[in-house]
Structure 1
Amino acid sequence: MSTVPATSAGLLAAERPAHRDGNVLRWLAAYTASMMGDNVYYIALSWAAVRAGSPAQAGAVMAVSALPRALLMLGGGVVVDRLGPRKVVIGSDAVRCAAVLAVAALLFVTSGLWPLALLALVFGTVDAVFVPAVGALPARITAKGQLARVQGLRGLAYRFASVAGAPLGGLGVACGGAAAAFGLAGLLIAVSVPLLVSVRMRELPPDDNPGARDTTAWRDLVAGLRYIRRHRILAPLVLAIALGDLGFVGPLNVGLTLLADERGWGASGMGWVLAGFGTGAAAVSLLLAVRGTVSHAGHVASYAILAGSVAIGALACVPAAAAAAGVALLIGLLAGLSGAMCGALLQTQAAPAYLGRVTAVSSLVSLGLAPLSMPLTAAAIGAWGTGPVFVVSAAVCGLAGVVLLGARDLRRAELPR
């Protein structure tokens, strides 16, 4: 991947919208292929774990990746800002590809849980640097005025990968078992590497590049945390993202499964609810990708979070699957809108030199800590029922909206045009 001076790259990106910029589209294709590989990988891992062990052992294998991701995420942000997101994304995708293909080959000659647990551990460790790098890369390939549109394009790619990846994973398992599905996942991730190599990235000025200074990784981490804490927009924004994820991840994952079982919706009913949510989120991503920006981004994010928290609480009160799918559609619209606004504001407000660390902190809860809260959510539902747990989760989400409204600079924040 080549680099060009920041001024010429910025002018080049400003001359054409992101959805017509070949550089952005190559990155988007790489991201889509990588995310599809991720989805196929998770299907293969869950299937192989269930076939090789007990349900409890399978659950343990699926959870193995969460711990290293949570422990190493902040350090991963430092690595991204010191080495640059380009090197980290390419390197981490190469490692992920090699690990998946190695396990695919191993499963042809052996079985058991240990190769699956080792693969999950490697994936979680690599994710600790991959996630911050993915968050830091868009600001280095396009102008600030296009970052909101890139956020919409990324959301569409993520939804497409989720919709297409699951059937591909199931087809791989049906045709050749878990080994074939792992092989397919590795090939999809491999597609992303040459695409990423071809993406042009603008260089940072030497004064803005932490890697150019003679400092330790620990000092870089402290400097990044201090930068977020002192920033009038990023500090409350990161807090709001964390609260929103804490209140959202549990109910809309394990909580929804238990709610569907309690109401007798069955697997098909739960599928319609998930489809409603995905449709709403994809519609918002499409809107942002087409429009390129939204006025009054801070206010929009605040009110969308507050309305979405009410909808989350209402989901536990809906008796019929069809009505629940409608509520889930509304949740998807509101959560997609607030998430896109928060993500775009984070991208545009953070200095590129700190974006790896900022992304690491903002992703720590959603991808590192929130998955670990799922067993607690299930235990709470078992003790108090779905209704109270959904209401408490909705209140936590609502606190995110209160934080956004209470921070004047964030409330008034706008996206570049």
Structure 2
Amino acid sequence: MTPTQHPLRLRGFRLLFLGRSISTLGDAVVPAALAIAVTRATGSSGALALVLGCAMVPRLLLLPLGGVVGDRVDPRLVALVTDLVRAAAQLAVGLELLTDEPRLAPIAAASAVGGIASAFAMPTATPLVAATVAGPQRMRANALLASAANVARLGGPALAGLLVWTVGPGWAFLLDGASFLVSAALLTRLRVQHTPGERRSLRTDLLHGWSEVRSRDWYWTSLIGHGVWNGAAAVLLTLGPLVATRQLGGDGVWIAMTQAAACGVLAGSLLAGRYRPRRPVLVANLGLALYALPLAALAVAAPAPVTVAAYALAMTGLGFLNPVWQTVVQQEFPAQVLARVTSYDWLLSLAAAPLGYTLAPLAADAWGSTGPLLVTAVLVALACAGTAAAPGVRRIGRVAEAGSTASAEVTGGRPADREAPAGAVGRNPTIRS
């Protein structure tokens, strides 16, 4: 692949792009449909919390193990198997919801199975992009994936509403299950070269992955900032609707905020495909610090247009960070540890959100919403902007120029001859947020 060749001209990346885009659209339909379905079936918010917890807890517990498996085994095979498992889980939920009296236990069990599968699937995303696209074009590839995912998330709730009110919420889950089957079918045609690292004990592999994280100040300091951001996002999502409804003009303000946020994330991912800052991690983390703006706007009950605009700007920072972060991680870490370091990233990101969801209502009940929102705004600004103090954050250079130039082209049949993706073990970047 030449440095100017578009990633979608590579058959391997096209297969990956189509599969991920289709399954993301299916997933985007599920949250709204799940809330409506469980509420209809049980009339209890606690039942919905139980179903969500059944998916979240095993995902958190098993993510590090998923990272080890993703590095030991061909990540394409792991992604394919987990797509099939998640398809079965979603189809099972869909069929249960199509019955006259859906039962909570099978839905919760299927959610747990899906959560287990996602713990093994999530760490494979970064290695698969690194294996199908060469260094100079990974930023564009990651931006394309992020943009497609954000478009799916924009349209997903509307599609969910259409399905729920026409044929029932069960069909939303059947659609999601079918999307995973399509993704799995596309992955069967993808072949990537996988060079596993030295086989060691599970404990040694986990510790080795953690040592890779700990040895890079840009990575672990950024993960702290990203974790605080996720906790702050949980606070905003918990307290924001109440403030918007009671003080800013009603439910329509919150709806406008969520739509503006979705548009902001999409705009940020599109920007990441075109703008190449000299210090990508520094710029991206400073963009995350903008999340302090909507938190502060809600805290002081700023006018609705100001709050909506602040939220859109803050989420543009998130949309920009995600593809930039993934590209830098693919550039800076050896291919043999990508799944493990990604799993630690996801673990911190996912673990921080429940903390925000738990503490925000307790703090609001004790002191009102203004104090918790202002404190959270200060924390997220300090944590994300404070990463600039780490020398590695300031040192990481432009990804389009610093990445591997080795060809990573794969085909639908035999893998093309190529070098392994470059990564420097000694170099001192979610979720990603």
Q: Could you state the TM-score of these two structures normalised by the residue count of structure 2?
A: 0.85
When residues 259 and 196 of structure 1 are mapped into structure 2, their CA distance, relative to the original with a 3 A threshold, is: farther
For residue 190 of structure 2, the aligned residue among 196, 199, 214 is 199
Separation in 2, partners of 1:18, 1:145: 10
SS at match of 1:319: coil
Structure 2 residue identity aligned to 1:49: V
Q: Does 1:297 pair with 2:280? A: yes
3-state SS in 1 of match to 2:57: helix
**Superposed CA offset, 1:204-253 (max 9, x none):** 3xxxx22xx33122211111111211234323233332233223x21342
User: Cα deviation per residue 1:64-87 (whole Å; 9 max; x = unaligned)?
Assistant: 211111111111111111113211
Residue identity in the other structure for 1:411: R
Residue in 2 aligned with 1:83?
73
**Pair 1:216-2:201 in alignment:** yes
Change (3 A) 1:394 1:343: farther
Residue number among 309, 328, 333 corresponding to 1:326 in the alignment = 309
Letter in 1 for 2:227: A
Q: Please, which of 31, 38, 41 is the counterpart of residue 27 of structure 2? A: 38
Q: Which structure shows the bigger proportion of residues in helix conformation?
A: 1
1:15, distance to aligned residue in structure 2 (A): 5.6
The farther-off stretch of 336-345 and 323-332 is 336-345
Q: What secondary structure sits across from 2:396 in the alignment?
A: coil
Q: 2:54 aligns with which of 41, 44, 64?
A: 64
Matches of 1:24 and 1:336, distance apart in 2 = 21
**What's 2:7 paired with?**
18
Structure 1 residues 229 and 333, CA, compared in 2 at 3 Å: closer, same or farther?
A: same
Residue 13 of structure 1 deviates from its aligned partner by 6.5
Match of 1:241 among 218, 221, 226: 226
Aligned to 1:397: 380
> CA distance change for structure 1 residues 127 and 102 in 2, over 3 Å: closer, same or farther?
same
Give the counterpart letter for 2:211 in structure 1.
Answer: R
Task: Say yes or no: does 1:407 pair with 2:407.
Answer: no
CA contact (8 A) 1:96 1:126 kept: yes
Q: Is the 2:293–2:314 Cα contact (8 Å) retained in structure 1? A: no
- Rounded to whole Å, the distance in 2 between the matches of 1:372 and 1:127 is 21
Q: 1:179 aligns with which of 154, 170, 173?
A: 170
The aligned amino acid for 2:390 is A
1:74 and 2:58 aligned: no
Shift of 1:357: 0.8
Q: Which residue of 2 aligns with 1:5?
A: none
Preserved CA contact (<8 Å) 2:253 2:304: yes
Counterparts of 2:169 and 2:316, CA distance in 1: 35
Aligned amino acid, residue 348 of structure 2: V
Match for 1:246: what amino acid?
G
Letter in 2 for 1:410: V
Aligned pairs for 1:293-372 (under 5 A) are 293-372=276-355
Q: Report how far residue 356 of structure 1 moved.
A: 0.6
Aligned to 2:411: none
Given that 1:260 and 1:266 are in contact with CA atoms closer than 8 Å, whether structure 2 keeps it comes out as yes
Which residues of 2 match residues 145-160 of structure 1 at below 5 A? Answer: 145-160=136-151
Change (3 A) 1:226 1:173: same
Q: Deviations over 1:339-394 (max 9, x none)?
A: 44333322321211111111111111222441353132222223222222122222
Separation of aligned partners in 2, 1:372 and 1:94? 31
What whole-Å deviation, never above 9, does each CA across 1:167-191 have from its counterpart, x for those lacking one?
2222222222222222122112222
Distance in 2 between the 1:373 and 1:84 partners?
A: 35
Change (3 A) 1:96 1:259: same
Residue of structure 1 in register with 2:161 after alignment: 170
Q: Is the 8 A contact 2:218 2:392 kept in 1?
A: yes
CA distance in 1, matches of 2:97, 2:290: 47
Q: State the SS of the aligned residue for 1:177.
A: coil
TM-score, normalization by structure 1? 0.88
Q: For each residue in 1:25-67, what CA deviation from the matched residue of structure 2 results, as whole angstroms up to 9, or x when unmatched? A: 3211111111111122222321211012112222332332111
Q: Where in structure 2 are the equivalents of 1:266-305 lying within 5 Å?
A: 266-291=250-275, 293-305=276-288
Aligned equivalents of 1:184, 1:129: Cα separation in 2: 22
**Whole-angstrom CA distance in 1 between matches of 2:225 and 2:359:** 21
Q: Which runs of 4+ in 1 moved over 4 A?
A: none
Q: Which moved more, 1:92-101 or 1:149-158?
A: 149-158
Q: In the TM superposition, what is the alpha-carbon distance from 1:192 to its structure 2 partner?
A: 1.2
Counterpart of 2:407? Answer: none
User: Helix, strand or coil for the counterpart of 1:250?
Assistant: helix
CA contact (8 A) 2:228 2:380 kept: yes
Residue 156 (structure 1) shift: 0.7
Change (3 A) 1:17 1:343: same
State how far apart, in whole Å, the 2-side matches of 1:304 and 1:184 are.
35
Corresponding position of 1:387: 370
Preserved CA contact (<8 Å) 1:246 1:365: no
Match of 1:131 in 2: 122
